[in-house]
Homo-oligomer: A and B are copies of this chain.
Amino acid sequence: MSKNKRVTSYDVAREAGVSQSAVSRVFRPGVSVSEKTREKVLKTADRLGYRPNAIARMLINQSSGMIAVIVSSRANLNFPDVLSLLNKQIALHNKRVLLFTLDEAEQLDGVIEQILTYQVDGVVALTAHFEVESVKQFAQHNIPVVLYNREVPDHSVSSVCCNHDQGLKMLVDLLVRHHHRRYLIVAGPQDSDVATARLTGAQKALLQHGIDNVPVVRGDYSYESGQQALHSHLQNAMAPTAVICANDAMAIGVIDEAREKQQLRVPEDLSVVGFDGISASAWYSYRLTTVSQPTSYMTKAAVDTLVNLIENPHNPPESRYWPGTLIEGNSVATARSEDE
């Protein structure tokens, strides 16, 4: 029973009557080995069930071939899609994803500590809680970092972002074309950079049309918080004619709250727009007007940027932006004149 012992390159070498170096060379592409030895080694390796030990390889190569991916559990984005696409891209570069999830900001230090011990080749951060300080820790250890959908003002960290400003401008312009003047913004959580970017993006776009002092209610990106936001706003304010939401889930919450609890028709009485282009936004019951993020391009860009930095450590950080795509559903209608 060879069951309890792993098969090493030495075992194969002994059985095949060659040196351990020879075995190693057979399993390393692009090294010169004679056809005879290669065959001998491959045959015995197969017979013994030998597989190169990735751990030992990591140690000698000074590179783990692993990418740390950090996700907040309370993620705004299309978590499953993004993660799975990222993983696919990373696999294309023959690297693996080591996954870290984050509940609270306070855990962050522990997670960074962990990541550093694992000698990962790079880090992709899909999380709002990520101060520049934290990134510096990775920089000190020469570990490149790419932020996904989050940018640092001084561009000292590479990032791949959807252009929130441009996306919100498209949405706002559309609403203004439909003669809306009374708005409500349902923003994301205070500590999320994406939320801030989308909020200021909306405000800037509205201001361009002379619309100012728009009320803001904060949610936490969840469906329930969208419902709650509309509900609490209507308690002590006039109903808006259009609601701009920081993401699709909250927008859907707003639509359901409006229809079921407030007896408002969407879009006839209330127009609602979201952001992200999650699959549920296209469902017949909602047909949400939203801006979809080009997730597959963005994940590819993120991984390409990261791999580039891994291979050229002295390259400067790079920020790449992607425009969103306006998806016109059926959640926006022309404001009724009596509301003007």
Contact = CB atoms under 8 A, between A and B. Distances in A.
Contacts of A113: 51
A223 B282 CA distance: 10
A252 B87 contact: no
Interface in A30-88: 49, 51-56, 58-59, 64, 66, 69, 71, 73, 75, 79-80, 83-84, 87-88
Nearest 4 pairs of A and B residues by beta carbon: A256-B284, A285-B285, A97-B99, A54-B117
Contact of A4 (B52, B64, B117, B142): B142
B59 A88 contact: no
A118 interface: yes
A138 interface: no
A87 B101 contact: yes
A73 B113 CA distance: 30
Contact of A3 (B84, B142, B257): B142
A170 interface: no
Interface in A281-327: 283-286
A222 to B, nearest CB: 8
B256 A119 contact: no
Interface of A: 3-4, 6, 49, 51-56, 58-59, 64, 66, 69, 71, 73, 75, 79-80, 83-84, 87-88, 91, 96-101, 103, 113-114, 116-119, 140-142, 223, 252, 255-257, 259-260, 279-280, 283-286
Nearest to A54: B117
A330 B103 CA distance: 33
Identical subunits present: 2
Contacts of A260: 284
Nearest to A111: B91
Contacts of A252: 283
A226 to B, nearest CB: 10
A141 B84 CA distance: 28
B84 A71 contact: yes
Contacts of A52: 117
Contacts of A55: 55, 58-59, 64, 118-119
A99 B99 contact: yes
A117 B51 contact: yes
Contacts of A96: 98-100, 114, 118
A3 B136 CA distance: 12
A88 B107 CA distance: 12
B256 A53 contact: no
A290 B51 CA distance: 46
A270 B88 CA distance: 41
